[in-house]
Amino acid sequence: MGDVLSSGKRKIRKKQQCFGCGRVFEPKTEMNFCNYADNGTVNTTYLCMVCQTVLDDDKDCFFKDNGEIYFEDIKNIDPECWEEIRYSLEEKNK
Ligand SMILES: [Zn+2]
């Protein structure tokens, strides 16, 4: 990933795939986005709330040694931890 230009939360207007876990989300879902410059083009990645939480919580242990995150890494590096957070964010209040 190149330089981050802007990031934040927004309601998506069309279907977007989460970079961290590969799930596809429907329009109007709130997701975290990140615009970044890479070889002269601007790209946007989206993260669902689960992946963002995993990243915020565990940045130090997961990604301390390599700053790069690849597609579906956030889920695959520690699936049990990811699922636990997913459950607490998405299932607990149903
Ligand atoms: Zn995700």
pLDDT of residue 65: 52
Tokens in use for 68? 């790069």
Give the tens place of pLDDT for each residue, 4-42. Answer: 888 899 999 999 999 999 999 999 999 999 898 888 889
Any idea what the CATH number is for the domain that residue 12 is in? 3.30.1740
Q: How far is the CA of 9 from the centre of ligand 1 (A)?
A: 14
Amino acid at 46: Y
**Residue 52: domain span:** 3-91
Distance of CA 40 from the midpoint of ligand 1 (Å): 26
pTM: 0.82
Give the chain as a 3 state SS string. Answer: CCEEEEEEEEECCCCEECCCCCCEECCCCEEEEEEEEECCEEEEEEECHHHHHHHHHHHHHHHCCCCCCCCCHHHHHCHHHHHHHHHHHHHCCC
Of residues 61 and 94, the one with the higher pLDDT is 94
Q: What total of structural domains would you count in the chain?
A: 1
pLDDT digits (tens, 9 = 90+) for 45-93: 999 999 999 888 765 555 545 567 788 988 998 899 899 999 999 998 7
The Å distance, Cα 69 to ligand 1 centre, comes to 13
